[in-house]
Amino acid sequence: MNDRTHESYGQKKLSFVDRVGVWLSQRAIARELPNRSDLEVLELGCGYRAAQLTALSPRLKHGTGVDFQLAPELASLPNFTFHEGTIEEALPQLAGQTFDAVLLISVLEHLRDPLLVIKAVRVLLKPSGVLLINVPTWRGKTFLEFSAFRLGLSPKVEMDDHRMYYDKRDLWPLLVRAGFKPSLIKLRYHKLGLNLFAVARRENV
């Protein structure tokens, strides 16, 4: 069995490098979400403690998180729902629900069929809802693997589970094939070019 099917990100203590990465992702997410307190947000691959999702609590009407393993204390949080299992298993359970935003933060690179997941996510977005994606770039691959395999500063299991790295020319066509309009897609490099951040908005229909 693949280790990623029974261990969630953050289930073991995060390294300093990983904590900095999470903080930078939180800042990028916060910049793209409306400054309201009634948002309904889904995070696929939310991590063991759902740190990024729960950090958005002041802006949320309701938050929904999905991951392989989840900290028991998350079950007691008001205005949150959590699904334990794979993203592919959870998506059918979410059918019929809609969200202002869906987060795929450091997740897409682990998926066997990223196009299938992005297509399903687009259906879950409300009109003008936004999909936020963070992925490691091909430039980041060198740094991440050196950090994990040579220095031991990041979990090796995370790197061994990477199926893809993304630059703009890799991610943009994937989003278009999933149904997002080019005029509603924004891509930018961040974290010194080691990561790519995508903002894909569903049209206002």
* DSSP line for 140-155: HHHHHHIIIIIS--S-
The residues near 193 (Cβ < 8 Å, ≥ 6 apart) are 137, 139, 140
For residue 113, the model assigns a pLDDT of 96
Average pLDDT of 177-190? Answer: 97
DSSP 13: P
Domain, as residue range, for 80 = 3-201
Instruction: Give the number of domains in the chain.
Output: 1
Express each pLDDT in 54-92 by its tens digit: 999 999 999 999 999 999 999 999 999 999 999 999 999
- Domain of 144, CATH number, reads 3.40.50.150
Query: Rounded CA gap, 79 and 108, in Å?
Result: 26
Query: Rounded CA gap, 160 and 48, in Å?
Result: 19
For residue 76, the model assigns a pLDDT of 95
Reference 204, options 186, 183, 189; nearest CA is: 183
DSSP 22: H
> Quick check: 129 and 204 in contact, CB under 8 A?
no
**Is the pTM above the cut of 0.85?**
yes
Q: How many CB atoms lie within 10 A of CB 140?
A: 22
